[in-house]
Each structure stands twice: as C-alpha cells, then as structure tokens.
Structure 1
C-alpha cells in the first residue's frame, strides 16, 4: 500500500525542491548576465591583430547568445517548478446542495 508522506517528510521534500529551484534560478540569472555581457560589451583587443580581434568578437557574440538562451531557459524552468511545487491553500467545500 502507498501512504502519504509524513508532515516531516513532506517538509524535507519541499525544502529540497526549494533548494533545487533556487539553484536553477541563481545559475540561470548568472548565465543570463554573462551572456548579456558577452553580447553587448566588446572584448579588449589592445595586443591583437585585426583578424584575431574580429575572431574574438564573433566568438564572444555567438557564445553570448547561447549563454543568454540557456540562462533564460533555466530561469523559466525554475519559475515553472516553483509554480508547480508551491503549497496550495485549502479549498472550501462546495455548498451547492441548496
């Protein structure tokens, strides 16, 4: 037979889920910030040739796009998991037998 988890077990599961969600959100925000920085802030090319500088800019831009997409996806996943695991208020009984 399956039984419902004890209140202590449920709180431990909720805390573990909250930790995972917080990790996803923080990691996603960090990756999102790095990606935006790589896309919009050009790299320093003081001691590089023009070809090397162009390669560095293109690489930073392309990796920044991937990081921005991945960070946004992690933030969205964390938000969706938070919405699924948040505690729901008890519902009132339906009194339509009037």
Structure 2
C-alpha cells in the first residue's frame, strides 16, 4: 500500500504552520529555536516528497544541505542561548540586548 504524496505535503504544511505559529506566539528562546527546526523539517519533508514523486535525487541532495545548515544553526543558536541563560535564568527573546556587554 503506497501513501499518496498529497498526504506528505499536507503533513509538511501542518508542521510548517505549527512551527510558524509557535515562533510568533512563544517568547521562550528554546521553544522558538525548536519551532524553527520544526519548520526546517517540514521543508525537508516537502523536498523528499517531490524527489520521490519525480524520481529525482535533487530533492534529497537539497535535504542534505538543509540538514548541514540546520546543524550549523544549532551550534551557533545554542551558543547564543547558553550565553543568554548564563546572565539571566528567565530570559526571553526580548532579552538579547543583555549580550552587549
């Protein structure tokens, strides 16, 4: 039994919308960071779906590059988040100005 590509695209849309809403609503930096990762995974699912549908490996190669960029984002983002939380335990996204020195 083969799952239609439309279902994967609808799932990717739902994941992207959840990530976008979470990014706009929540002020916690870690939750916002996870929402961005959720949005990137939704885009990856879309790339893989189109790669499978079109029998082309280009979409899967694009997923590889998106995952590499996401890994770099994790390193830099978590470094900034740790620096913020060292100064203030209850930091929000509005508290980035405390990193000025």
Q: Which TM-score applies when normalising by structure 2?
A: 0.43
Q: Which protein shows a greater Rg?
A: 1
TM-score w.r.t. length of structure 1: 0.44
Greater RCO (CA < 8 Å, at least 6 residues apart): 1
